[in-house]
Amino acid sequence: MAPPKLPPKGNTDSEDSEDAVDTPTTMASTDTTALPSSSPSLAEKAQRCRAALITALSPSEPVDTILLSGGLDTSIIADLAPLTHLGLKQAVTVVCTPTAPDEAYARAIAEKHSLKHTVVRCDDPMSLVGDEEGGTLETCVRVLKTFDPMELRNAVVVARALVECKRMGAKVVATGDAADELFAGYSFLQGLSPGKLKRWIARLSRPSVMRFCAGPLAAHLGLKVFQPFLAPPVIDFALTCRRSDLIRSIPNPAPTKDTTPGEMTTFGKYVLREAVPEAYSRWRRKDPIEVGSGTTTLPKLFEEHTDPAFVEAEKARILREDGVTIRDAEHLHYYGVFRRVFASDGAASAENEDQDMDARQYRLKALFAKCGIERYGDDPCLECGFQIDRLDSWFCVTCGAWPARTGSPEGDVQEGDDLDE
């Protein structure tokens, strides 16, 4: 998924290198966190983790294709596949700029396992988000029922990759979904106390809290997805992890052009890196999909391509007429497609509503009836009026607002949060 219901700021790391590097086979951790002597060691945890992953990588039907970003998560699937009955035959990678870091890693992994590898190149990221009818963006908006920029930036890359999988005759497609959520891959999680991190992961692991675009987009294309990090043994294992199993600072074993050898570096998903030491991308740091593939530049590109006065005028008009808060040029573009797909303007008119608030409310409720998500119900988003999908979430999956309710999320600090147990 683009991260589910995460604060919109802070889940984008960009510190990865563009240089593929060899991975050392051993690295002594210098983490000094004190652990109870009865706790399993990291080495024991890594063994359990590996067993859970191998169990998860034994599906009931062959998985012929992988969406290969070349990050740690997809590297683990591809690099463990030869030990399982997965049956991977081909891989697809999407890159939107010549400097997108995914490609070198993905190429190396595909070559290592003799996978037929297709790299889909888009001249520039804007070509993935054109507003043409039936285009990639419109498909994502229609299937996912959203105009959240962070979700769509990610989804258009996944959709483009899945279309290629379909063209290549794929039946079942593997993705690395959920590894970042269950094993603390996002950089903003590094600042959480052990207790708070554990609760964050426990909440996401509940059924249907995590949302990933690959499933619905694949179903739309008649494909199946295989998401091994969402398999029960892997989720069960993740719930046993302490902060120190997931996040550690070590001398950087894979220095890049931006870092010096031996520089202390903090890695999330640490136990995964220990569990699969043969993973080609073992010490690659996290890139969210929109950075790895190059769509991270979209907000800036939209800003450059759109007249600021037009954006401001449209923001005012849309708030007045549709009751939707538009944040910037990119958001405006996605909303335009969402509106075209889901709005029904014929039901009522905006005229003379100043005197009749009920008429306005009725029209706004009915405007997006085709979308199927309630508007102005008992828990509407402050910025778009669509129902917030969960009581325990402050994020609006329709427009991307956070916080989407008045007040602020609870502090969620509990006694003993500093104990890593």
Binding span for Zn ion by CB under 5 A among 104-112, 158-166, 266-274, 395-403? 395-403
Cis peptide before 207 (omega within 30 of 0): no
Q: Which of 135, 138, 154, 128 is nearest to 335 (CA)?
A: 138
Task: Report the nearest approach of Zn ion to the CB of residue 305 (Å).
Answer: 25
H helices of 263-412, where?
A: 270-275, 289-292, 298-305, 308-322, 329-342, 357-367
- Residue 401 lies near Zn ion (rule: CB under 5 A): yes
Distance CA(391)–CA(218), nearest Å, equals: 28
Task: Report the nearest approach of Zn ion to the CB of residue 133 (Å).
Answer: 25
Q: Rounded to whole angstroms, what are the CA distances from 50 to 8, 62, 421?
A: 32, 20, 21
- Residue 399 lies near Zn ion (rule: CB under 5 A): yes
Binding span for Zn ion by CB under 5 A among 103-111, 247-255, 369-377, 390-398? 390-398
- Residue 371 lies near Zn ion (rule: CB under 5 A): no
Six token digits for residue 6: 């995460």
Binding span for Zn ion by CB under 5 A among 57-65, 286-294, 355-363, 396-404? 396-404
* Nearer to Zn ion among residue 138 and residue 383 (C-beta): 383
Q: Which of 137, 136, 104, 99 is nearest to 119 (CA)?
A: 104
The mark string for 52-71 relative to Zn ion (x by CB under 5 A, - otherwise) is: --------------------
Task: Report the nearest approach of Zn ion to the CB of residue 401 (Å).
Answer: 4
Distance CA(370)–CA(189), nearest Å, equals: 37
Dihedral (C-alpha) 248, 27, 41, 191: value to the nearest 10 degrees? 0
**Strand 116-121 relative to strand 172-174, pairing:** unpaired
* Nearer to Zn ion among residue 18 and residue 379 (C-beta): 379
- Residue 381 lies near Zn ion (rule: CB under 5 A): yes
Task: Report the nearest approach of Zn ion to the CB of residue 395 (Å).
Answer: 9
Residues binding Zn ion: what is the number (CB under 5 A)? 7
Binding residues for Zn ion, rule: CB under 5 A, are 381, 383-384, 396, 398-399, 401
